[in-house]
Amino acid sequence: MVYFTKWPTWFMKIFFLLWCTHVQALDRVVLQLKWEHEFQFAGYYAALWQGYYEREGLEVDIRSWATPEGKVKLPLEELLSGRAQFAIGGNDILLNQGHGFDLKVVAPIFQRSPVALVSLKSTPMQNVDQVAKLRLAAVPDDDTALDARAMFMMNGVDAGRLTFVQEPLTMETLLQDKADVLVTFRISAETRAKELGLELNIISPSDYGVQFYGDTLYTTSEFAHQHPELVERFRRATLDGWRYALDHKQEVADRISATLPRYIYHYDDFTAYNRAFAQIIDNYTFYPVVELGHVNLKRWKRTYDILERLGEIEQPYDPASLLFSKPRESQQPWMDTQWLVLAVVGAVVLLGVAFLNGKPAYGLQIAVLVLLIFVEQGLEAWVKRDYQIQQSVSALETLAKVRYRLEQVISRNLAELTGAAAFIAANPDLTQAQFNDYAKNVLKLDPQLINLAAAPDLVIKYIYPLPGNEAALGLNYRLNEQQLPAILRAIEFNEPLVAGPVNLVQGGQALIGRAPVRVLNTEGEHQLWGIVSAPVDVASVYREAGLLDPALGLRVSIRGKDGLGKDGETFFGRPELFDEPGVVTQPVSFSGGSWQIGAVAESTGEGVSARLIGLRVVFALVTLLIMLLLFSQTQRINSRRHFQKVSKRHAQFLHEVETVAKVGGWRMNSDGIVYELSRQAQQLLNVESAAEQISLEDFVAYFMCPSGVNLVQALRDVLDKNVELDLELQTCNEDVWLRVIADPVRDEHGVVEIVGAIQDITEQKRADAKIEHQANYDGLTNLPNRLLFRDRLHSAMARTTRSGKKVALLFVDLDNFKTINDNYGHREGDLVLCEAAARVQRCVRASDTVGRHSGDEFTVILHDLENETTAANIAEMMVGDLSKAFRIRGVEVYSGASIGIALYPGDAETAEELIINADQAMYEVKKSGRNGWHFYTEEMQRKSEYRHQLYNALVTAIHEDELTFHLQPIVSTRSGKTIACEALARWQRRDGSWISPVEFVPLAEETGLINQVDYLITEKSIAALQQINANRKHPVALSVNVSPRLFQTKDQALDRWLGLMRSASQSLPIVVEITERLLTAESNRTESTLHQLADMGIGISIDDFGTGYSSLSYLTRFPVSKLKIDRSFISCIGLNKTSETLIETILVMAEKLGIDVVAEGVETTHQLEYLSKLNCHSVQGYLLAKPADVQVFAARVRQEDEVA
């Protein structure tokens, strides 16, 4: 109860706060003028001073074109910069729109441009062709200059011939001969000329076919689009201000003069200037005949066409797009709305009657028909009024031309009369003959003058021509009551004036121009001499002004006899015309008085009749179409009722289906409201069953949208663009994946709505995610696999191209991993790999990428490096971490790592090349002793390329049997004879060049070709030795080298080689040379193979003994029969006591074990003698013999046999 008693108080408080906020929150806008402050902009000042802007919620700052510093603000520049929201322009608005600036016309204020071309009286401007030869001063790119150019172009003058000069638009420019003509506002020039006592020639472009709008209020399209209501409020307040200013001209003019400053262009009497502008401003606004802000699209299009012909439209556009689209307020609100009110009321009544009678569909048809009829009648009224306005504007434009021509004719005649008065004042005692001569010339120049008469002391004494005018001689104006008032007025104001039309004494009617003549008396004072007069042919004046032109299209009347303006008597046409509706008027001003000319368009009504007929035909067709649609709709109502039962049955069936399939359905209407949600859909979304309707935003909130997906917009597109939707989204709890399907459908009313389904796809998404992960990640280490790694490498290289930084690729290979795998098993090896992967990841940043390349190889991408130092530091850290012990089965094992580094850009162009080059750098580390890192270099590339070429050539050489062998003798120290030889591989290419074994043997070892090479050399050397030993009593033994890789191969190479050994051992003593590296592997297969060889009678020799991991256990565990002391020890004999001690130790040990010793690399006599003294069994070296082909070796053996 307390609540209900207090709510009015709270309501009033809230209302008061909102009202205060509204009052305080005025929208601030700036209006930029196109000139300095003056009456030209009176309406804007009035709107500000009278509070019209504030009434509309606006705070307006009106800024002058000129600043106190003497600089100017260009309206367009201020508008585009955002420093102003509105500006005043003219036809330059169309021009700037054509230059690509998007503008909007808000309201034309001047229906006619006030621009004129003015020159001093001494510079004649009789026609356009004459003006085109003069120098014109104008503001560049201003609408005034465009008016002038358009006038010349429309009158056949090439605008390119014009000479424009950039000089101030002041009378001083003309007086100083800096220009011949000023293109400026007529009132400005006339006011300043009057202050300086100058006479001007004036031409207005509007009198030569240029019907441009004058001052126009405009803004930018962007501002109008964003703030249409604000623009409309500003327009409404501005028009109210102009109405006030035009109704209170002197008040506003005086306030402008008193309060608003000018900074550049000044007048002696600023108040007089503003008052003068106020008096003639109706000639530009056409108010009240034309409503302020009235827009005529045809005029805008005509102006656009002219500017386009001038070449000023750079980017063509539709002039209609320039106009602000806010609807114009009706001048008769009730007339514009009463039709709609009556239509709505009638439609509601008829519809209610139909409902009461149980036939709503038929009632709807009748109501719509009535509504359409009333709307059509309202549009007809609007068309008629619009046509009347257009007729008035057209009549006013035509009337303005007639007025101008009348003023020109009268001004010309008065000028002649003024000249005659000046002539008589200079010659007050002239004779009749002198008068006749002067008058003859005047009448010759101006044939409209009937005669010229002079009346000293107001009595006509002189007249020319005399024939036909004799009755006028001696006329005393003092006695002529009809003409005397006008004469006295001319004398009183001391200026020429026009009287009449009057009845001439000599017969007929004419306009009488009279000018007083004053002369200096003997005392130097002016005294009245008399008056000079000239009757002007009225018909000729009417004809020249166009009043008698049958094509004028106007009914015209003129009043103001004797120059009395609108208060004077009507002397042309009917006086009733001034009281007719739609009449337009113009003042005809001349020296000493004015007339008022009025006109009404002579319209047959054909234009409006055609529009009305077209409107009625269109409405009849539209009405027929609508009634047919309504009739069709009525027929569908009955069908709908039938289908409702069927739909209900189908709905029950679909509910059962979705329960089984766990698929939910939903509907959304055109307003974005989910108004139907099945029970299954409610369960999937966890929606309260009580929620009858769900807004679009609330519906979307149930889902988690991925980046880049705007579900709200997507659903609106289904409604607006009739597109289908099929998305897979997570719910907010992230546990459930749903497939959301939406299709647009139209209901029976043609309204688009959405029918959708929701399906639970959680299990499918989990399966897809697992498959995707397996496709891109290594199953053991969970690192990116080779495919994903290369994709990231491509992205990193592309990003580096944009950022200018570097990317480093590290190729990491675990050292001795195979030993761990072989000795501890693959499961423990996998544990080492996982731990190694974790250590590598700990050495890099989160933004870097670590991938598993293959086996025990990893690849690393280091992003955004400034230099290679960072890559080196990280590689050093990895080597250190990977060198630490790995603990498996409670045992610590060691591996280490070899790392190759390649940089992009610099070391490669593509991702593949970068990986290859890093791999090459890694192999350099392997060659250098492993457990380190190395940057890729170009030398590696050259070696790699040569190595690759050599590999291909070696493969070819093996296949094409290019490999051969040389034999190096092994000599007994006791007998000095050859007791054995070592078969050494040699390669001579087809071009005769030799490839060193230092090059191709290591390559064969690395690439796995060594087994083929060993087999080939062994096979060939066995055949050669068998032939050499064929007839020998003591055969020469053959020593062959075998690679450790042979004992590790998975194919049949070892078995094949053993078969060769078994076959050869039956006819030839053979020694197999192995390295200590083979023994360190401690493979069961190796041990078994060596014992098989020993059983065949084949000797086993350890090559390069003492340089590797020498162990005495080898000599006891394996069937070793020979040792070969490495040449590195032999070369130090006589130089290094330590080496000599090692040699002695080896020889003593071998003798104790019963193992023969061969010393290789003997190259000096001292070395041979030293070894012989120590009982070394045999020696081999260049001192004894170099390796040679079979023929040379066979010859040596034969020679030894012959000596023996």
| Lowest-confidence segment of 364-368, 728-732, 961-965 by average pLDDT | 364-368
CATH topology of domain 390-601: Beta-Lactamase (3.30.450)
16-112+212-322 is a CATH 3.40.109.10 domain: no
Q: Does position 899 have pLDDT exceeding 90, yes or no?
A: yes
Structure tokens at 815: 């050292």
Beta bridge partners of 323: 105
User: Domain coordinates of the chain in residue numbers?
Assistant: 16-112+212-322, 115-208, 390-601, 662-767, 781-936, 961-1203
- The predicted structure's pLDDT at residue 690: 56
pLDDT at 983 over 90: yes
CATH number of the 781-936 domain: 3.30.70.270
pTM comes to: 0.38
Please provide the distance, in angstroms rounded to a whole number, between the alpha carbons at the two ends of the chain.
144
Strand, helix or coil for residue 969: strand
3-state SS assignment for residue 866: coil
Nearest to 1021 by CA among 979, 1071, 1092: 1071
Half-sphere exposure of 1204 (CA within 13 A, CB side): 13
Beta strands 1037-1041 and 994-995, pairing class:
unpaired
Confidence of residue 363 (pLDDT cuts 50, 70, 90): low
Closest CA to 375 of 343, 405, 412: 343
Query: Residue 234 is encoded by which pair of tokens?
Result: 């500003």
Domain 115-208 carries which CATH code? 3.40.190.10
Which two structure tokens, joined as six digits, stand for 341? 């009110």
Q: Confirm if 497 and 560 have CB atoms less than 8 A apart.
A: no
| Token pair listed for 35 | 């000139």
- C-alpha to C-alpha distance for 1021 and 1015, rounded to whole angstroms: 10
What pLDDT, on a 0 to 100 scale, did the predictor assign at position 883?
Answer: 92
Q: Is the peptide bond before 261 cis (omega within 30 degrees of 0)?
A: no
Give pLDDT tens digits for 42-66: 999 999 999 999 999 999 999 999 9
Q: What percent of the chain has pLDDT over 90?
A: 37
Is the model's pLDDT at 765 over the cut of 90? no
* Distance (Å) of CA 181 to CA 119, 152, 171: 5, 14, 10
Bond prior to 288 in cis (omega within 30° of 0):
yes
CATH class of the domain comprising 961-1203: alpha beta
pLDDT-derived band at 660 (thresholds 50, 70, 90) equals low
* 645 touches 662 (CB < 8 A): no
Contact between residue 1072 and residue 1099 where contact means Cβ atoms under 8 Å apart: yes
Please state the rounded mean pLDDT for residues 711-737: 82
Tokens at 542, concatenated: 């009417």
Question: 3-state secondary structure string, 243-295?
Answer: HHHHHCHHHHHHHHHHHCCCCCCCCCCHHHHHHHHHHHCHHHHCCCCCCCCCC
Q: Do domains 390-601 and 662-767 have the same CATH topology?
A: yes
Q: Determine the average pLDDT of the residues in 730-755.
A: 83
CATH architecture of 662-767: 2-Layer Sandwich (3.30)
484 SS3 class: helix
Q: Measure the CA–CA gap between 462 and 478, rounded to whole angstroms.
A: 17
Dist CA 768 CA 196 (whole Å): 94
pLDDT score of 12: 45
Residue 1055 dihedral angles phi and psi, to the nearest 5°: -60, -40
> What is the pLDDT averaged over residues 342-350?
65
The pLDDT tens digits for 226-278 are: 999 999 999 999 999 999 999 999 999 999 999 999 999 888 899 999 999 99
According to the model, what pLDDT value does residue 22 have?
A: 41
Indicate the helix (H) or strand (E) that contains 22.
helix 2-24
